A and B are shown apart, each in its own frame.
Chain A
Amino acid sequence: MKKRVVLYFSAVQSEQPIIYQLIKNTDLIVNILKADINPQKEGYLVVELEGDKDSYEAGIRFLKNLGVIVEPLSQTVVWHDELCIQCGACASFCPTQALAIERDSMIVSFDNSQCVVCGMCLDCCPTLAIKLHFELQEAV
């Protein structure tokens, strides 16, 4: 199985080699997608954890026992209108018509409520106007 989660660290935890221990103890494949530590040394990691179900659950248990807060990842796609040149390439890849072209004017628009965050549009936007945004809580 493969899951994406957000790990929130306190200042004390962020100085520990937690990811090293996670990999060593559970044999999970850990892919760090995004990371940040604020000046107060609190921080978060967005990680993709890959492995069998037992390893995954053991890994989550291990993290929670250390006091790391584990949240499911909630992502949204953000369309930066100011970077968009209105070519419309994205609309042909969008399975839900969240990104759509109004055919008379050929103008592209984005309806967030229709978006299922499949990420197809990220690859085909030549101005990189479409970005994946990780919803993050305030670090604890």
Chain B
Amino acid sequence: MTKKSYEEINEKIRRGEAVVVTAEEVIDVVAEKGYAKAAEEIDVVTTGTFGPMCSSGVFINFGHAKPRIRMQKVWLNGVEAYGGIAAVDAYIGAAQVAENDPENKVYPGRFMYGGGHVIHDLVAGKDIRLEATSYGTDCYPNKNVDTVITLADVNEAFMFNPRNAYQNYNCAVNLGDKTIYTYMGVLKPRMGNAAYSTSGQLSPLFNDPYYRTTGIGTRIFLGGGIGYVAWNGTQHHPNVQRGENGVPMVTAGTLALIGDLKQMDPNWLVGLSYLGYGPTLAVGVGIPIPILDEEMLRYTAVKDEEILMPVVDYHQGYPYGNHTDLGFVSFKDLKSGRVNIKGKDAVTTPQSSYPRARQIAAILKAWIQAGKFELTQPVAKLPGADSPIEFKSLPDRQPSGAVSMVRNRR
């Protein structure tokens, strides 16, 4: 029985002797040599995904102005960043809409520029207009700043994404009779298309379905640089229905990721505009999986046909909770360009880039082979498939005050 420790694998990486394959390549190795032999030979399997991940953003410390300002409201290229932290710290979120965007007033809105685009431009080293306002205090008398910054100018800029790398996701269809515009893209009426967003057999958490090696502290590829798993992501909901291979059949685990934006690359953080929905960011994530034993190898050998995702109606089901049972489709069928859902054929619309996911897995493989990237043992585990996490909804309660605490101030 093969047993390898993190330290043994890292020792091989340092010697340049580690055997590294991507999550696609491992499938062929297994077909040729079987699980036991493959587990013995392979040390690391690399995964990758590149798709829209709205729950992403960047913390920035701008440095102090003279005289100093306690930035209350902050805008980067006209897109508001959250300034409710210390004086010159802010958080720019990927899904933030630009201040003067016409939104959906002319439906469907185009959302040409938003938080995701700001992040892309920052990483690309472009000039970013920084505007900030405040009320002035004795220690921070300045009330207004309007200047131009670049990524090189700021003290710190680190990406912190509260929810990335969703383990499985809905396949979105539209059962209504007119086109709808969603975060899953344009959905044609009467199930005219089926949209999906995953890299399937290359996707990180499909290759480690029980979070055995992916945990807090795991070193990863993030946006072209090196990042870490910081925590479980928001909406991490691992105790769901799973197939025999451990792969969840509905949305399950998620990861909160962190990394230094200054090391990242604009190719792997790309601003997106979703018609009628809003702006977001395509994030590149790659996670290495150490082959500690044959069990890990078996997980990484998961194939597209063994990954099932639920079909969800975005006309009534998702927005209003009036769900229609539309069954499951396999990632293999989705990738073929056509799926059959309840007897009807639909063309498939990818949102996540499979070629880019493959490139990420290949880059991470090259880093490890070159001895530039060692694996880390998680310092703590993510809540596992048996943890009693409930997926909660917002409570609907009657507040005691009749007047809104915010609306009357506008």
Minimal beta-carbon separation of A131 from chain B (angstroms): 12
Q: Are the C-beta atoms of A126 and B274 separated by less than 8 Å?
A: yes
Q: Are the C-beta atoms of A86 and B273 separated by less than 8 Å?
A: no
- Distance between Cα atoms of A23 and B401 in the complex (Å): 55
Q: Are the C-beta atoms of B347 and A92 separated by less than 8 Å?
A: yes
Question: Which of B108, B195, B354 is within 8 Å of A106, CB to CB?
Answer: B354
Q: Are the C-beta atoms of B112 and A128 separated by less than 8 Å?
A: yes
Question: Which of B50, B108, B186, B273 is within 8 Å of A93, CB to CB?
Answer: B186
Q: Are the C-beta atoms of B356 and A123 separated by less than 8 Å?
A: no
Query: Which residues on A sit within 8 Å (CB–CB) of B352?
Result: 87
Least CB separation from A90: chain B residue: B349
Given known contacts A126-B52, A127-B270, A128-B112, A87 and B351 CB-to-CB distance under 8 angstroms: yes
B185 at the A interface (CB under 8 A)? yes
Q: Are the C-beta atoms of A92 and B193 separated by less than 8 Å?
A: yes
Query: Which residues on A sit within 8 Å (CB–CB) of B275?
Result: 123-124
Question: Which of B112, B185, B270 is within 8 Å of A85, CB to CB?
Answer: B270
Least CB separation from B120: chain A residue: A127
Query: Which residues on A sit within 8 Å (CB–CB) of B336?
Result: 103
- Distance between Cα atoms of A105 and B357 in the complex (Å): 11
Given known contacts A85-B270, A86-B355, A87-B51, A124 and B335 CB-to-CB distance under 8 angstroms: no
Query: Which residues on B sit within 8 Å (CB–CB) of A93?
Result: 186, 193, 349
Number of A-B contacts (CB under 8 A): 69
- Distance between Cα atoms of A101 and B348 in the complex (Å): 11
Number of residues in A with C-beta < 8 Å to the partner? 19
Given known contacts A85-B50, A92-B337, A101-B337, A126 and B185 CB-to-CB distance under 8 angstroms: yes
Minimal beta-carbon separation of A13 from chain B (angstroms): 31
Least CB separation from A101: chain B residue: B337
Restricting to B155-207, which residues have a CB under 8 Å from any CB of A?
185-186, 193, 195
Q: Are the C-beta atoms of B112 and A89 separated by less than 8 Å?
A: no
Restricting to A123-140, which residues have a CB under 8 Å from any CB of B?
123-124, 126-128
- Distance between Cα atoms of A127 and B350 in the complex (Å): 14
Given known contacts A106-B354, A107-B355, A89 and B185 CB-to-CB distance under 8 angstroms: yes
Minimal beta-carbon separation of B33 from chain A (angstroms): 23
Query: Which residues on A sit within 8 Å (CB–CB) of B350?
Result: 87-89, 92, 106
Q: Are the C-beta atoms of A103 and B356 separated by less than 8 Å?
A: no
B287 at the A interface (CB under 8 A)? no
Query: Which residues on A sit within 8 Å (CB–CB) of B272?
Result: 126-127
Q: Chain B binding site: helix, strand, loop or mixed by DSSP? A: strand
Q: Are the C-beta atoms of B273 and A88 separated by less than 8 Å?
A: no
Minimal beta-carbon separation of B391 from chain A (angstroms): 27
Minimal beta-carbon separation of A1 from chain B (angstroms): 24
Given known contacts A126-B272, A126-B274, A86 and B186 CB-to-CB distance under 8 angstroms: no
Query: Which residues on B sit within 8 Å (CB–CB) of A128?
Result: 112, 273
Q: Mark A88-124, 1 if CB is under 8 A from B, else 0.
A: 1101110000000101011110000000000000011
B282 at the A interface (CB under 8 A)? yes
- Distance between Cα atoms of A123 and B186 in the complex (Å): 8
Question: Which of B195, B271, B335 is within 8 Å of A103, CB to CB?
Answer: B335
B353 at the A interface (CB under 8 A)? yes
Query: Which residues on A sit within 8 Å (CB–CB) of B273?
Result: 126-128
Query: Which residues on A sit within 8 Å (CB–CB) of B195?
Result: 89
Minimal beta-carbon separation of A103 from chain B (angstroms): 6
Q: Are the C-beta atoms of A85 and B193 separated by less than 8 Å?
A: no
- Distance between Cα atoms of A9 and B164 in the complex (Å): 53
Minimal beta-carbon separation of A117 from chain B (angstroms): 18
Least CB separation from A108: chain B residue: B355
Minimal beta-carbon separation of A50 from chain B (angstroms): 18
Interface residues of chain A, those whose CB is within 8 Å of chain B, are 85-89, 91-93, 101, 103, 105-108, 123-124, 126-128
The 10 closest A-B pairs by CB, nearest first: A106-B354, A126-B272, A92-B349, A86-B355, A88-B350, A87-B353, A86-B353, A92-B347, A124-B186, A85-B353
Besides the contacts A92-B337, A103-B336, A126-B280, what 6 more A-B pairs have beta carbons closer than 8 Å?
A: A85-B353, A87-B352, A87-B353, A89-B349, A106-B335, A126-B273
Query: Could you write out 16 A-B pairs with CB less than 8 Å apart?
Result: A85-B270, A85-B353, A86-B355, A86-B356, A87-B51, A92-B348, A92-B350, A101-B337, A103-B336, A106-B350, A123-B186, A124-B275, A126-B272, A127-B270, A127-B272, A127-B273
